[in-house]
Amino acid sequence: MPGIDESLLEAMRLPGARGALVVDWISGLALGAVGEAPGEDAEATAAETAELARLAMESGTLAPADGGHPRTGKEPPVDDLILTTADAYHLIRFVITTFDSTVFLYLWLDREAGNLALARIRLAEMADRLVLG
């Protein structure tokens, strides 16, 4: 099972990947970073994307109506977030663990060179395999 560094390197192998982070959405701190960051500041990107993640995870409106996550028995409010800009996609994929994880994977993907569907699938696979600790 890959750790943070291996997962980030795997994310960067996706077509169009410009940068990737593993972020704690409570503290806003980057636990790992590779490649570029929007605005050339990985820590600022981590803090800003953590704000979006925190809003999504704490949203009562987005809470699931039924069931639980197959691994934890708890269903997160959202699986992922996608923000689209004129030239890029910004993907946030929450990492679900048996304990209360507050971590997500962030991918900055070039809109022309990237494949959004493939990136979502691969990010989900990476999040499922990611070993924290």
pLDDT tens for the 133 residues of the chain, in order: 478 899 999 999 999 999 999 999 999 999 999 999 998 999 999 999 999 999 988 876 776 665 454 444 455 678 899 999 999 999 999 998 766 678 999 999 999 999 999 999 999 999 988 876 5
0.75 surpassed by pTM? yes
By CB atoms closer than 10 A (0-12, 13-18, 19+), residue 35 is middle
